[in-house]
Structure 1
Amino acid sequence: EGYESRLRSAIREELTAFWEAEQPIIGLFDEGRLLSVACLTGPDNAAGAGRYWHWRLKMLLTTGYYGTRQMLEKEEKIRSAMPAEKYHLLSFIAVHPDYQSHGLGHLLMRAIDSVLLEHRDSEGVGVFVTVPKYETFFSDGFYQKVAQVEIANKTGQVMFRPRP
């Protein structure tokens, strides 16, 4: 199988893990077709160091020890850079390429705000950004850079938006 097929499979696995853990998933659809999605981990979730064991095992079997260790190291660095104790983490956000630049990302951001308003114990939402144009997207959504993190020779910004 090719890279795109493996990528789609990994995304399906990640969405399934979020669904099974009853974490917030926001999807925008057009007649049953998923156009964009955002996945959050909640402030009461044991994700990160205590991330789902079945997910870790699948990661270990598909990406090997080194790839799994890098993923767990990344999660720990992001978590320790957050300026809050109880927060949501935007773990995944995507808009289908045919629908980018149509405002769907901004709709997802507003939906994320509504999730935060439903969880009074959440101090805000954090995200790890490795692509400069996405830094701009999140900055426009009032996310602030709180730390620069390097993981496996890849540098990114930890950004945080306090609860609205």
Structure 2
Amino acid sequence: MSDDTDNQNNSEEPVIVRLDETARNEAQSILYHAYRGEPTFQYLFDHRKPGYDQRVRATVRELIDLYFEHNHDAVGVMVDNSLVAVAFIGEPEVRMNLTEQLSWRIRMVLTTGFASTRRYMDYHEQIRHLLPQPQAHQLPLMGVNPKYQNRGYGRLLLKAIERVCADNPRGSGIVLDTGNSRYLPFYESEGFRSLGQIRLGDFEDHVLFRETAAVNEARASEPG
């Protein structure tokens, strides 16, 4: 991991870091605990059947491997030398098509089963169809350690993501999704708007979009 800030004197202050593969295990643990109780994962990987926790762990692991393999950006928040929040940022030029990732699909089938892999791929394709034009950054994996939630680290993580995305002028904004409606007010307060919903069983997964500050500034500078 590498620091994105200059002042490291107070280890209790949250620090934004860029993640590399040395953070893999910590990132996996955070995302596993962040997603295992989420309605979207419970539906896609059928929490009613034995082995649900293993399927969630395997999916998080395989997705992290895939995004590191494609050299996508990843950022995190550290507090007192502990990683407490992470996000993987999909590049706008690379609209990850999981149907083209043969080795990934094989690993997923072997670890989560055919049905779960198929459901996840179908869900991913529905999100792809809702993505805006021009292309946007995507947040396929983002979470805060449940022990550190409600302390402002999610908002801090989003600001770090914004800075990374603003450095890439080819991206129009940021896309994320959530099946947990209690998160919607938070995302709306951060300027996200709905691109649409995906029906998953008896609930809807919300796909949200926000333009980056760089895009907003460019529009504001255009002659009226």
Q: Which has the higher strand share?
A: 1
Structure 1 range deviating more: 131-140 or 43-52? 43-52
1:128–1:157 Cα contact (<8 Å) kept: yes
Identity %: 28
The amino acid across from 2:120 in the alignment is M
In the TM superposition, residue 92 of structure 1 has moved relative to its aligned partner by 1.2
What are the within-5 Å matches in structure 2 for residues 80-159 of structure 1? 80-159=129-208
| 1:122-160, Cα deviation, whole Å (9 max, x unpaired) | 011111110011112211110001211113554111111
Runs (4+) off by over 6 Å: none
Tell me the TM-score normalised to structure 1 length.
Answer: 0.87
State the distance in 1 between where 2:115 and 2:58 align: 20
RMSD, aligned CA: 2.2
1:55 is aligned, of 92, 104, 111, to 104
State the distance in 1 between where 2:80 and 2:101 align: 32
- What's the counterpart of residue 75 of structure 1? 124
The amino acid across from 1:103 in the alignment is G
Task: Report the count of equivalent residues.
Answer: 164
State the distance in 1 between where 2:106 and 2:208 align: 29
SS at match of 1:45: coil
Structure with greater Cα Rg: 2
Asked if 1:28 corresponds to 2:115, the answer is: no
Structure 1 range deviating more: 8-17 or 154-163? 8-17
Any gaps of 5 or more consecutive residues in structure 1?
Answer: none
Any gaps of 5 or more consecutive residues in structure 2?
Answer: 1-50, 214-224
